[in-house]
């Protein structure tokens, strides 16, 4: 009877297993194989040898180094800034009663807005054209070319854009987490005369730490996968703009002017995987002692 049940269970799981196998496991193995096939020509379907040549090519490519640098800067700035700001806004939203719902809706709007539409708004804010200097330049009374100028100006716009795009989701999640903290703890703390800062450090933060931790992990992964935001701001030739990311580099390799360079694309994708996996593992490992799961 137990054997029969086991068989039934496997049968129920079969569609999911097949789906995962075809769309996740098989492509993953495929990527690993492509990454060691040197000089793989996608159209001729030939390669010249097996080895780590693709990794060497990618790691010595000036365009990959630029993409790597851009991605790391983006991650280092946007993840802490967006999480911190979201926490502040969520705390603010939790402590007000009037117009709470209206503010929540306003803060959530960028999340449901199309990335390219947001890009257009940023163009109006920052882009210098023959007709206008852009709203920000007009307000600041400056003449800075944010979209087509110096590297750090472009990076600043990218970071602002990314933070603005990712914040609504974080605010929503954090607002829910804050609402789920048992109010009895706060009452008890107040009776003991604890200050607001102490209440936040000793009660609020520990209670919502699993959520904060989840947002940090997903924030890291999302920021490492950045690409469409950069396209919305700087167009498809991100290399010429000096603003390409690792995912953008992989895409360029897949659709290169001389045919798909799958080997290089796979190698770059695996390097990205190694970086994301390592950072995620560190987060998981070292936050275990700090995060308090109820």
Q: How far is the CB of 239 from another protein (least distance, A)?
A: 6
- Cβ closest to another protein, residue 9 vs residue 50: 50
Which residues inside 104-163 make contact with another protein, applying CB under 8 A?
Answer: 129-131, 145, 148-150
Under 8 Å between Cβ of 249 and 271 = no
38 forms beta bridges with: 49
Residue 20 CA to residue 273 CA, distance in Å, equals 18
- Nearby residues of 157 by Cβ (< 8 Å), 6 or more positions away: 122, 126, 146, 147, 233
The answer to the question of residue 195 lying near another protein (CB under 8 A) is no
Which residues inside 236-265 make contact with another protein, applying CB under 8 A?
Answer: 239-240, 254-260
Q: How far is the CB of 180 from another protein (least distance, A)?
A: 31
- Residues 113, 117, 124, 281: which binds another protein (CB under 8 A)? 281
Under 8 Å between Cβ of 245 and 66 = no
Among the listed ranges 35-43, 83-91, 154-162, 182-190, the one in contact with another protein (CB under 8 A) is: 35-43
Residue 142 CA to residue 159 CA, distance in Å, equals 20
Residue 171 is inside which H or E element, if any?
A: helix 151-179
Residue 153 CA to residue 242 CA, distance in Å, equals 12
* DSSP-derived 3-state class of residue 108: helix
50 forms beta bridges with: 37
The answer to the question of residue 207 lying near another protein (CB under 8 A) is no
- Residues 9, 25, 116, 139: which binds another protein (CB under 8 A)? 25
The answer to the question of residue 228 lying near another protein (CB under 8 A) is no
The answer to the question of residue 19 lying near another protein (CB under 8 A) is no
Name the site residues for another protein (rule: CB under 8 A). 21, 25-26, 29-30, 33-34, 37, 39-50, 56, 59-60, 62-63, 65, 68-69, 129-131, 145, 148-150, 239-240, 254-260, 271, 274-275, 278, 281-282, 285
């Amino acid at each position: 009877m137990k054997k029969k049940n086991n068989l039934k269970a496997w049968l129920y799981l079969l569609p999911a297993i097949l789906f995962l196998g075809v769309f996740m496991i098989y492509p993953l193995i495929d990527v690993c194989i492509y990454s060691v096939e040197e000089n793989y020509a996608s159209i001729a379907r030939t390669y010249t040898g097996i080895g780590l040549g693709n990794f060497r090519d990618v790691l010595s490519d000036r365009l990959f180094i630029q993409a790597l640098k851009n991605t790391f800067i983006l991650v280092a700035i946007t993840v802490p800034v967006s999480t911190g700001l979201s926490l502040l806004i969520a705390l603010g939203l939790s402590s007000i009663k009037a117009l709470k719902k209206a503010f929540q809706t306003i803060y959530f709007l960028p999340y449901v807005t199309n990335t390219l539409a947001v890009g257009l708004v940023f163009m109006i804010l920052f882009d210098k054209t023959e007709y206008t200097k852009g709203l920000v330049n007009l307000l600041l009374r400056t003449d800075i070319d944010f979209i087509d100028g110096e590297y750090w100006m472009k990076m600043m716009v990218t970071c602002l854009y990314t933070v603005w795009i990712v914040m609504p989701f974080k605010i929503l999640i954090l607002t829910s987490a804050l609402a789920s903290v048992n109010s009895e703890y706060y009452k008890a703390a107040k009776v003991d005369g604890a200050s607001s800062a102490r209440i936040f450090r000793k009660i609020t933060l520990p209670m919502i730490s699993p959520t904060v931790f989840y947002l940090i992990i997903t924030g890291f992964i999302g920021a490492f996968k950045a690409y469409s935001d950069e396209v919305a701001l700087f167009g498809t030739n991100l290399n010429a703009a000096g603003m390409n990311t690792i995912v953008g580099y992989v895409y360029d390799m897949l659709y290169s002017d001389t045919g798909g360079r799958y080997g290089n694309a796979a190698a770059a994708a695996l390097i990205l995987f190694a970086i994301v996996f390592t950072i995620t593992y560190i987060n998981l490992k070292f936050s275990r002692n700090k995060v308090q799961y109820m």
